Structure 1
Amino acid sequence: MNHPKVGIIMGSKSDLHVMQDAADVLKELGVDYEITVVSAHRTPDRMFTYAREAAGRGLKVIIAGAGGAAHLPGMVASLTHLPVIGVPVKSSNSIDGWDSILSILQMPNGIPVATVALNAAKNAGILAAQIISTADEQIVKNLIAFKDDLKKKVEESAKEMEGRD
C-alpha cells in the first residue's frame, strides 16, 4: 500500500474487530488504505492533526468508527472537507448501539457524515470505494466484479434451495 486513499480510524483498538471489515473489503477492491486509532475524547490533539492533515497526505475519504457517545466521525467531519463515513460500533458501554447510531446520524446542517448501519464497516468500505471510483476506472471495474459476484452467490443459493443444479 503505497498511497492510501482511505483513512480508517476508530476510537479504540477494541473497535478493530468491526473496523477490520472495511479494511478487508477495500483490499479486495484494490483501494489502498491506512488504519489507526484516533480517540476524540482521549487524544483530541491527535484527532485534530489527523483530520486537518488527511487531504494533504492524499486521502480522499475517511471512515471513522466509534462506539458509545461516538463523537469521532462528526468531529473529524468538522475539521476536513473530505467525505467522512461514520460506522456506529456497538461497544461494551453502549445502549444497544443506539447511542452510537444517533451520535453519528444526528449531525447539524453543514457537517454531514454518511452513516452506515451498526457494525457495518464493510458497507463503509464499499461506499468509500464507490466514492473513489468516480475518479478511478480500475476501481469501477473492481466494484462491478464485486457486485456481479454478490449476484452470482444469491442466484446459486436460490438454485440450491429450489433443488436445481
Structure 2
Amino acid sequence: MKVAIFFGSKSDTEIMRKAADILKQFNIEYRGYVLSAHRVPERLCEVLVEIENEGFECIIAGAGLAAHLPGVIASKTILPVIGVPCNGALDGMDSLLSIVQMPKPIPVATVGINNAFNAGMLAVEILAIKYPELKEKLIEYRRVMKEDFIRESEKGCDL
C-alpha cells in the first residue's frame, strides 16, 4: 500500500501534512513531493513514471491558485487522483473550482478547501477495497469515532 502526496509549493506543507498524518495512522506507506506542473513539468512526469513502477496505488495532489497540479497528474496516469484545493487568491475557491471542474474523461476526486485530512481518508477508503486488513482497520476507526462522538455529545454543551 503506497500513496504519493504531491503539492506545488512548500508553503502548502502544513496543509498537506494532514494527509500524511492519517496515512501514518493506518500504516500506509507514503512519499511526499513538492513539484510544480508549471515550473518543472518534465520532472513531474518522470516522478509519475517512477511511482507507477514502484507500485504506488493512489495519489493525493494539493494545489492553490490555478491549481493545475491534480489535473495534470490525472492526465498523465490512470491511478486515482484526489485533489486538495489549497488557499489561493480567492480563499481557495479559485483552487476548488479549478480542480473540481476537470473536463471529461479525466476526473479528479476533490475534497474541501485545505482538507488534506479527508484526502488521506479517501485514499484509505480506496485502498481498503483491495486490502482486507486495511478494511478492518477502517471499520474499527469508524466504530471508535462514533463511540467517541456519542460519549462527547452525552456530556451536553454550554451555550
TM-score interval (norm. to shorter): over 0.9
In structure 2, what is the equivalent of residue 52 of structure 1?
49
SS at match of 1:161: coil
Aligned to 2:149, which of 154, 157, 160?
A: 154
- Stretches of structure 2 that go unaligned for 5 or more consecutive residues are none
Aligned with 2:61 (options 47, 61, 64) = 64
Question: What percent identity do the matched residue pairs reach?
Answer: 46
Gaps spanning 5+ residues in structure 1: where?
A: none
Q: What TM-score comes out, normalization by structure 1 length?
A: 0.91
Q: Match of 1:133? A: 128
Aligned equivalents of 2:130, 2:29: Cα separation in 1: 14
1-structure distance, mates of 2:72, 2:61: 10
Q: Are the equivalent residues in 2 in contact too, given 1:30–1:142 (CA < 8 A)?
A: no
Please state whether the residue corresponding to 1:36 is helix, strand or coil.
strand
Aligned with 2:17 (options 17, 20, 25): 20
Shift of 1:162: 6.7
Q: CA deviation at 1:88?
A: 0.2
RMSD: 1.4
What amino acid is aligned across from residue 134 of structure 2 in structure 1? I
Q: Deviations over 1:9-65 (max 9, x none)?
A: 100111011000000001101211111211111111111112233221110000000
SS at 2:27 equivalent: coil
- Tell me which moved more, 4-13 or 62-71: 4-13
AA paired with 1:79? K
2:74 aligned with 1:77: yes
Partner of residue 35, structure 1: 32
